[in-house]
C-alpha cells in the first residue's frame, strides 16, 4: 500500500461531507476510515485519497509514512477512541527512532454530551471495555496538540470532563457555521415549502414531522413537504406521501438532488429528539440548509440552537409535541427569514474549513 500524505485524517466513520472537504481542500490529505455512514456517496471520492482500513493497518501506515499532522476523531467519541489511541501511540512510539519534529495530533470537537452517559454496560466484560475506553479517551485528550471546538457546548464539555487544558495544548472555538453554497440561485424559494433532509429515524424527529403535517397543511394551503434521506422509517414517510399529494419522498438521492431541494426549500425542519444515549451535536442538515439560505426549525438539542435562536430561526424544546412543532412550522412558512439575510449572517469562510486551517497550520504560526 502506498505511503500516506503528510496530512492525514483518521476517522471512525466517513460521510460524503468528508469526501467533499478532501476534494475541495487546498492541501492534499489522506483520509483513513473504518466504516461508512448512511449518507456516504462513493461517487464523491473521485480524486480523493480515501482508504477504508482497520485500526492496526492505520497504525502501520502511520508508522511507515512521513506524516506531519494527524487529525483524529474527537477524544470524547468513545466508539472511535481505540482507533485514535492506537494511531497516536504508534506516532509517539516511532518519534524517538526518527529525526525531526514529532507529528502534531489535532482534533475537531463537537461533542456536547458526557460520553460516560452514553454507555449502559451490563456485564463485567462490558464494564471492563468501557473503563478501558475511558482511560484511552483521557490519554488521547492529553496527547492532542490542537483542539478546535465547533460549538461552545463542546468547549464547555471538554473542560467539564477532562479538566484543565494540558500544558502546550492549544484550543480554539470556531463555530460550525457554513459559508453560502455556490451551487446556484439561493434566493428563489418556493413559498410554503418545507424540507426534511436526513436519516429517516426517530431520534432525528421524523415521526414528529409526519405527525405535525396535517395541522401545518390545514393552516396553510401553500404548504408542501419534501422528505429526503433513508432509514428505518422510510415506509412511514412513503405512507404519508401516498395519502397526501403535497408530500414528496426522495430516498437516498445523489448530492445534486439534495442541493436542488435545499435551493427551493423555504424552511428546513430537523427536530432532533432527546435520548438517554445520544444528543444532536450540530446537525449537518442544519448546516447545509443555512448554506442555502433556508429558515431553520429545530430543537434545543442542537449545539447551534443558541446561535439559531439569536438569528431569528425557530428553536423549540426537544420535548415538544407534534402540535407545538406544527405551530413553529406554520410560523416559519408564514414569515420565513429573507434568504439574503440568512446568508448574510454566515461567515465568508466555512467554519469547518477555518478549523482545518487552524489545526493544520505550520508550527509557530
For 327-365, how does the pLDDT look when each residue is reduced to its tens digit (9 = 90+)?
999 999 999 999 999 999 999 999 999 999 999 999 876
pLDDT higher than 90, residue 45: no
Point out the least confidently predicted range of 8-12, 25-29, 228-232, 244-248.
25-29
Please state the domain extents for the chain. Answer: 7-177+349-360, 193-344
- Mean pLDDT score of the chain: 93
Query: In this predicted model, which residue has the larger pLDDT, 196 or 277?
Result: 196
- Tell me whether residue 11 is exposed, middle or buried, using C-beta atoms within 10 angstroms of its C-beta: 0 to 12, 13 to 18, 19 or more: buried
Secondary structure E strands in 96-164: 104-109, 146-149
What is the biggest distance separating any 2 CA atoms in the chain, rounded to whole angstroms? 71
Residue-level pLDDT at 108: 98
Cα–Cα distance, 215 to 130 (Å, whole number): 45
228 beta partners: 197, 250
Altogether, the residues listed in the chain come to a count of 365
Assigned superfamily of 193-344: Glycogen Phosphorylase B; (3.40.50.2000)
Q: How many CB atoms lie within 10 A of CB 46?
A: 8
pLDDT higher than 70, residue 313: yes
52 beta partners: 33
Phi-psi region of 312 (alpha: psi -120 to 50; beta: other; left: phi over 0): left
Residue-level pLDDT at 277: 83
Point out the least confidently predicted range of 31-40, 78-87, 124-133.
31-40
In this prediction, residues 80-86 reach a mean pLDDT of 97
- Grid coordinates given for 347: 461567515
Residue-level pLDDT at 1: 72
pLDDT higher than 70, residue 43: no
pLDDT by residue (tens digit) across 128-181? 999 999 999 999 999 999 999 999 999 999 999 999 999 999 999 999 999 999
CB 314 within 8 A of CB 331: yes
Please count the CA atoms within 13 angstroms of the CA of 161 that sit on its side-chain side.
Answer: 21
pLDDT higher than 70, residue 24: no
Point out the least confidently predicted range of 12-21, 97-106, 109-118, 218-227.
12-21
Is the pTM for the entire model greater than 0.75?
yes
Are the folds of 7-177+349-360 and 193-344 the same? yes
CB 283 within 8 A of CB 257: no
Residue-level pLDDT at 261: 98
Cα–Cα distance, 121 to 136 (Å, whole number): 17
In this prediction, residues 322-327 reach a mean pLDDT of 98
b/e burial code for range 164-176 (CB count within 10 A of at least 16 → b): eeeeeeeeeebbb
- Grid coordinates given for 323: 402540535
Overall CATH class of domain 7-177+349-360: alpha beta
Amino acid at each position: 500500500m502506498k505511503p500516506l500524505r503528510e496530512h492525514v485524517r483518521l476517522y471512525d466513520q466517513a460521510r460524503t461531507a468528508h469526501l467533499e472537504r478532501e476534494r475541495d481542500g487546498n492541501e492534499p490529505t489522506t483520509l483513513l476510515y473504518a466504516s461508512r455512514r448512511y449518507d456516504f456517496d462513493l461517487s464523491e471520492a473521485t480524486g480523493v485519497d480515501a482508504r477504508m482500513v482497520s485500526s492496526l493497518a492505520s497504525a502501520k501506515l502511520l508508522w511507515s509514512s512521513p506524516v506531519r499532522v494527524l487529525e483524529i476523531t474527537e477524544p470524547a467519541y468513545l466508539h472511535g477512541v481505540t482507533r485514535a489511541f492506537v494511531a497516536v501511540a504508534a506516532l509517539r512510539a516511532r518519534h524517538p527512532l526518527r529525526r525531526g519534529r514529532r507529528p502534531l495530533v489535532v482534533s475537531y470537537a463537537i461533542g456536547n454530551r458526557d460520553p460516560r452517559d452514553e454507555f449502559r454496560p451490563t456485564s463485567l466484560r462490558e464494564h471492563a471495555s468501557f473503563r478501558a475506553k475511558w482511560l484511552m479517551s483521557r490519554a488521547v485528550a492529553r496527547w492532542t496538540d490542537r483542539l478546535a471546538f465547533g460549538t461552545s457546548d463542546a468547549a464547555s464539555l471538554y473542560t467539564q470532563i477532562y479538566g484543565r487544558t494540558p500544558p502546550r495544548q492549544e484550543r480554539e472555538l470556531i463555530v460550525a457555521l457554513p459559508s453560502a453554497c455556490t451551487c446556484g440561485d439561493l434566493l428563489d424559494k418556493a413559498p410554503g415549502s418545507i424540507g426534511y433532509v436526513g436519516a429517516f429515524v426517530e431520534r432525528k424527529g421524523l415521526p414528529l414531522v409526519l405527525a405535525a403535517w396535517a395541522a401545518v397543511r390545514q393552516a396553510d394551503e401553500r404548504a408542501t413537504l419534501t422528505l429526503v434521506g433513508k432509514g428505518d422509517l422510510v415506509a412511514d414517510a412513503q405512507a404519508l406521501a401516498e395519502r397526501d399529494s403535497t408530500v414528496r419522498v426522495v430516498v437516498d438521492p445523489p448530492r445534486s438532488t439534495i442541493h436542488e431541494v435545499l435551493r427551493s426549500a423555504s424552511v428546513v425542519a430537523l427536530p432532533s429528539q432527546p435520548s438517554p444515549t445520544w444528543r444532536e451535536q450540530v446537525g449537518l442538515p442544519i448546516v447545509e440548509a443555512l448554506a442555502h439560505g433556508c429558515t431553520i426549525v429545530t430543537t434545543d438539542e442542537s449545539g447551534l440552537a443558541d446561535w439559531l435562536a439569536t438569528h431569528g430561526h425557530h428553536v423549540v424544546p426537544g420535548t415538544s409535541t407534534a402540535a407545538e412543532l406544527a405551530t413553529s412550522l406554520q410560523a416559519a412558512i408564514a414569515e420565513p427569514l429573507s434568504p439574503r439575510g440568512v446568508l448574510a449572517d454566515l461567515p465568508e469562510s466555512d467554519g469547518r474549513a477555518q478549523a482545518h486551517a487552524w489545526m493544520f497550520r505550520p508550527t509557530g504560526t
